[in-house]
Amino acid sequence: MGIFEYSMIFILCWWLAFFLTLPFGVRQQEAVDGAAYPAAPQKSYLKRKLIAATILAFVLTFMVSWIIQSGILDI
């Protein structure tokens, strides 16, 4: 596999990991102002989620590429 295949697997794994980490740690606002939407989170912790998604994507990319190269899954 070349760099293009690895990068495509990483991008797909990163988006999957990012959408999986989005709901973690989200809490709704307790006191709602007139300008805030009631379901808006207090803090989104987006930097933590981006870092976690990147680390998880590296692990998933390694696992998927190992499965493809070992012959378990033939694409």
Q: Which residues pair with 28 in a beta bridge?
A: 41
Q: Is residue 75 part of a domain?
A: yes
Q: Is residue 61 part of a domain?
A: yes
57: burial class by Cβ within 10 Å (0-12, 13-18, 19+)? Answer: buried
What is the count of structural domains for the chain? 1
Q: Is residue 20 part of a domain?
A: yes
Q: Is residue 39 part of a domain?
A: no
Residue type, 17: A
Q: Is residue 38 part of a domain?
A: no
The residue range of the domain holding 14 is 1-24+46-75
Q: Does the global pTM surpass 0.85?
A: no
Q: Is residue 18 part of a domain?
A: yes
Q: What is the pLDDT of residues 12-60, one digit of tens each?
A: 999 999 999 988 887 777 766 666 676 777 778 889 999 999 999 999 9
Q: Is residue 12 part of a domain?
A: yes
Residue 59 structure tokens: 């692990």
